[in-house]
Amino acid sequence: MLVKTRMFCKKIMLLLWRTNSHISRMYSIESKKVLDQQVALVIGSTHGIGLSIARRLAQDGATVLLNSRKQENVDRAVRELTAEGLNASGTKCHVGKAEDREKLVETALKRYGKINILVCNAAVNPFMGPLLETTEEIWNKVFGVNVTSHFLMVKLVVPHMQKEGGGSIIICTSFAAFRPHPYLGAYCVSKTAQLSLTQVLAMALQPMNIRVNGLAFGIINTSFSDVLTNTHEKKKEIMNYYGITRIGEPEECGGIASFLCSPDASYISGENIVVSGGSHVRL
Ligand code: NAP
């Protein structure tokens, strides 16, 4: 009888231990976020797609350093994310200026000690019209911000990612890289250059365990795309041109960015992923 009772007690103890460890395993899986302990720089993250990506990275556990050209935009974005309980701070940075890029990296290192994620998101398009009417100044500005500044930003950040044993970089490009718009000539060429920048960087940074991927967005509802969508007729025209039935929302851009930075994407690098609502037209 005593032996039977002891065996019964042992079985109960084992069951309790198994249940307990199962629950604690479940708990740790649920409480650990995919980007826990990661520090992210999203270039141009005070509104639109950049803010949405920054918010999603922070929701998934990352600490984000928000930035853009205007201090008031930085302050508003920081207020928004911190009010949501997310880990975010901000600093002013015009990515086209060398001293601002350096200051941004220094600030991240001073505040958080490391950089694991870089999202090259900011872009400009100061001119809409026939390609041959694009001046040298406009051409240089478009390439300066959309291509050169991001390349230089990557160069600044890479040594710090190396110190961490690797990292993840995302280049935000456009569906227009595959299907140019005739009135956005220089912008489209700069976005096509970014496809190649992603691939060449991915090859160069592979030995350092730094993954580089591109996100080619379709028409997303932001102030940037307003010029193409601000009347019913324009909206219809652009949706027909790109073969889509609706315009995307910035919130639909964050999940894929977070996935690409997460361990689940550890074997994905050098890809340009189209996020354009099923638009079927490619080069
Ligand atoms: P957006 O709404 O205009 O937001 C751009 C963000 O970048 C803002 O926070 C802006 O803040 C900041 N920014 C602009 N120039 C900057 C600079 N030189 N240095 C630092 N920050 C700068 O643009 P978006 O529509 O989200 O576009 C984001 C990215 O997606 C771009 O690369 C764009 O080419 C790409 N994309 C957008 C669409 C679309 O339909 N929206 C489609 C395809 C691709 P400040 O004004 O305070 O600087």
- Per-residue model confidence as pLDDT tens digits over 222-241: 999 999 999 999 999 999 99
In the annotation, is 27 catalytic?
no
Torsion of CA 231, 233, 235, 238, to 10 degrees: -140
20 domain residue, yes or no: no
CA distances from 260 to 56, 62, 110, 272 (A): 12, 13, 26, 11
Residue 170 has pLDDT above 50, yes or no: yes
Contact 125 CB / ligand 1 (< 6 Å): no
Contact 153 CB / ligand 1 (< 6 Å): no
21 domain residue, yes or no: no
Residue 54's domain comprises: 32-282
Determine the Cα–Cα distance for residues 106 and 88; give it in Å rounded to an integer: 16
206 domain residue, yes or no: yes
Determine the Cα–Cα distance for residues 78 and 86; give it in Å rounded to an integer: 9
4 domain residue, yes or no: no
- Per-residue model confidence as pLDDT tens digits over 97-122: 999 999 999 999 999 999 999 999 99
User: How far does residue 224's CA lie from ligand 1's centre (Å)?
Assistant: 6
Residues with Cβ within 8 Å of residue 9, at least 6 apart in sequence:
none
186 domain residue, yes or no: yes
267 domain residue, yes or no: yes
258 domain residue, yes or no: yes
Contact 111 CB / ligand 1 (< 6 Å): no
209 domain residue, yes or no: yes
Number of domains in the chain: 1
Catalytic residue (one of 27, 183, 187, 267): 187
Nearest CA to ligand 1 atom 6: 44
Evaluate the CA torsion angle 128, 134, 137, 143 in order and state its sign.
positive
Would you give the DSSP letter of residue 133?
Answer: G
Q: What is the CATH number of the domain that holds 156?
A: 3.40.50.720
- What's the average model confidence in pLDDT over 171-190? 96
Indicate the pLDDT class of residue 7, thresholds 50, 70 and 90: low
Residue 23 has pLDDT above 90, yes or no: no
Contact 144 CB / ligand 1 (< 6 Å): no
Q: pTM score, two decimals?
A: 0.91
| CB-side neighbour CA atoms (13 Å) of 59 | 14
Strands (E), 47-163: 63-68, 88-92, 117-120
